[in-house]
Structure 1
Amino acid sequence: MLASVTHSPSRIRELFPGVITATMVGVTAQFLSEHYGAPAMLMALLLGLALNFLSEDGSKTAPGIGFTARTVLRLGVALLGVRISVEMLGALGPRLIALTVAGVGATILCGLVLARLAGRDWRFGLLTGGSVAICGASAAMAISAILPKHEKSERDLVFTVLAVTVLSTVAMVVYPMISRAFGFSALESGVFLGGTIHDVAQVVGAGFSVSQEAGETSTLVKLIRVSMLAPVVLIASLVIRAGGIASEGQRPPLLPGFVVSFIALAMLNSLGLIPEALADFAAGLSRWALLISIAAVGIKTSLARMLEVGPLAIGLLVIETLFIGTFVLTGLHILE
């Protein structure tokens, strides 16, 4: 124990340059988002890509950037649990909850099938399908954390985060017009927007642009999709363990610690044991942790390598986005 305490100051000194660099990139991205309206995640990623040289071997910032991209990311995902509660599920009713959950499962399967047809690795299919199905960049980072690593892992993650953020921003503008064209009620608009748009921020923006009720419903539906993150990661971990698929011959944990924390916080929140002020603080901390960690992931990734993904991968994500949109629209039509 004494040894660990003795070594901790040197470890902090080693990590500090990289952590503070990623933090500054995240703060800059937030500033640009607030003043120019661009998505903060997208800004953090693009700024990070421009600073790729800071993650080169031998750089003083490399250890801290690696730590931020891995550990801070998992902290951010874990803290998402404070936004989930059982109470919110009852507000929608079983049929709309079933439609939302079915959309998540069907989109992940769509991603796996499309990846196979396109000759891509199953990991890419799960990564893209899960990010589109659940909660965009946050889901991509959580799923990436439990996937067996390979030489293109970080490239695929950055590409997925970049693509889903752009697609989500487009959807935020286009989908409210689609809901009006279909003559949806506020409830139906909320279910459509919350059930199809990738990122939480864009769901909120789209929902409240329609009406107050649509905004509240879309946020609720989106949080139900976010709550699917834990079961999806658990099932993926079980399949990976059962198949003995892992990087460096190591089996992944049955349920990663950050997912256990996510579930525990969701349960505590459901029981009303987390004060509202503390929940708001944790939700804000989660958003900052994810923003800073995606900046670090961007810094670790070479833009030239990311461009190797190719147009086929872009098409795959676009099709997945169209798939979940069509699925939810069809479901709403059937449930009318």
Structure 2
Amino acid sequence: MAADLYGEMQLEAHPPARHSARDYLHGVLVTAIAALAAAWLADHYAVPLVLMGLLIGLALSFLSQDKRTHAGLDLMSQTALRIGIVLVGARITAAQLVDLGPLPFALLVAIMIAVIVITVASARLFRQDRHAALLAGGATAICGASAALALYSLIGDKRVDQARFTLTLVGITVASALAMTLYPVLAAQLGLTDAQAGFLIGASIHDVAQAIGGGFSFSAPAGEVATIVKLTRVALLAPMLMLVGLWLARSKDDAAGKARIPLRLPWFILGFLAIAAINSLVAIPKPVTDGAATAAQALLLLAIVATAMKARLHLLLDQGWRSFAPIIVATVTSFLLSLGGALLL
């Protein structure tokens, strides 16, 4: 595989300058079929969609040994991901940040930064690579699998290999599913108000749908607060990616070659910001924003499935228990800091 600062993550070590449509066909078809199967199973058996996509993708990883699938899998894991991130911007408006209020917003930003910093700092304690810890911390702090995919497109597989990345995806997805079940119960046991519970759940659960679902499982008012808090975290995806890109570019201990790489803002971050800005300034019809949100979810699912299919299972199984340490640290830190923030409201 080859990779650069913006995560080429390609199965083809030396891809041709141009591909024909037929070159993409096999990889795109198997990814689409696997994604449809994941969506059907998730819908009928109440399993998190991302987790089902990962499991099916891993089960079909043997297909990536067929060179005919390489171009299509690369397309789905890269281009589909980036377009999906752009479309996520349709869910964001400046009004959401205003509705949250200055204190909750400041607490949320502080929590997100602290989760990433503490997770990266803990990497040495568990003898883990700091880039892998950055991936786990950033994904936990922002929006789970979507953020992990976006971060990996910056970090690249020369810093974090494909097996470790897939393991991180699985870990944060399972952690988010458990959090959706446990956090509302813990909030009730702690006697939190609707506003406090909504902040706790929205600020600490990774996945958007699970954060919103967890909030409404506590109460309708808590669900509304959790929705605003969670979408604010999503809105901070682009600034966080910009900071990570800057850090990687300035790093003197760069795993990709110890070279200072000039910072280039990826087009999908610019697209995300542009869509969010348009959505804030212009009243986009709800059917359009709903359609964009559905398309974003579909494209991100395709990217997750393709990424899992590209993983090497034998390398995944070689990862020890310490590989989960950054995910555990990030999840626990996120919960405790979010709880502390909720108690201040």
Q: TM-score, normalised by structure 1?
A: 0.93
1:35 aligns with: 44
Deviations for 1:198-217, whole angstroms, at most 9, x for unmatched residues? Answer: 11111122111111111111
Q: Which moved more, 1:166-175 or 1:112-121?
A: 112-121
Structure 1 residues 202, 252: closer, same or farther in 2, change over 3 A?
farther
Cα pair 2:183 2:214 within 8 Å, conserved: yes
1:271 paired with 2:284, answer no
Q: Structure 1 CA distance, aligned partners of 2:288 and 2:48? A: 26
1:108 paired with 2:116, answer yes
Q: 1:237: Cα distance to partner?
A: 1.1
**Residue type of the alignment partner of 2:78:** R
Q: Which moved more, 1:13-22 or 1:147-156?
A: 147-156
Q: 1:310: Cα distance to partner?
A: 1.3
1:119 counterpart SS class: coil
Q: Pick the aligned partner of 1:289 from 293, 299, 322.
A: 299
Structure 1 residues 121, 134: closer, same or farther in 2, change over 3 A?
same
**Residue type of the alignment partner of 1:25:** A
Q: Structure 2 CA distance, aligned partners of 1:332 and 1:298? A: 36
Q: 1:273: Cα distance to partner?
A: 4.7
Cα pair 1:132 1:321 within 8 Å, conserved: yes
Q: Structure 2 CA distance, aligned partners of 1:172 and 1:148? A: 30
Q: Pick the aligned partner of 1:51 from 39, 44, 60.
A: 60
Q: 1:164: Cα distance to partner?
A: 0.6
**Residue type of the alignment partner of 1:127:** L
Q: 1:171: Cα distance to partner?
A: 0.6
How many residue pairs match? The answer is: 327
Structure 1 residues 151, 323: closer, same or farther in 2, change over 3 A?
closer
Please identify which structure carries the higher helix content: 1
Structure 1 residues 274, 250: closer, same or farther in 2, change over 3 A?
farther
**Residue type of the alignment partner of 1:226:** V
2:340 aligns with: 330
Moved over 6 A (4+): none
Aligned-residue Cα RMSD (Å) equals 1.8
Deviations for 1:290-310, whole angstroms, at most 9, x for unmatched residues? Answer: 001100001000222112221
Q: Structure 1 CA distance, aligned partners of 2:271 and 2:256? A: 24
Q: Which moved more, 1:144-153 or 1:162-171?
A: 144-153
Q: Structure 1 CA distance, aligned partners of 2:210 and 2:20? A: 38
Q: 1:151: Cα distance to partner?
A: 7.3
Q: Pick the aligned partner of 2:309 from 292, 295, 299.
A: 299
Cα pair 1:149 1:247 within 8 Å, conserved: no
Cα pair 1:54 1:62 within 8 Å, conserved: no
1:183 paired with 2:170, answer no
Q: 1:152: Cα distance to partner?
A: 4.7
| Identity over aligned pairs, percent | 36
Deviations for 1:304-332, whole angstroms, at most 9, x for unmatched residues? Answer: 21122211121331121111111111122
Cα pair 2:197 2:342 within 8 Å, conserved: no
2:145 aligns with: 137
Q: TM-score, normalised by structure 2?
A: 0.90
Q: Structure 1 CA distance, aligned partners of 2:165 and 2:85? A: 15
Deviations for 1:111-170, whole angstroms, at most 9, x for unmatched residues? Answer: 111112222222101100001100000000000001143175211221111111101111
Q: Structure 2 CA distance, aligned partners of 1:27 and 1:148? A: 27
1:18 paired with 2:27, answer yes
Query: Which consecutive residues of structure 1, in runs of 5 or more, have no partner in the other structure?
Result: 1-6
1:3 aligns with: none
**Residue type of the alignment partner of 1:313:** S
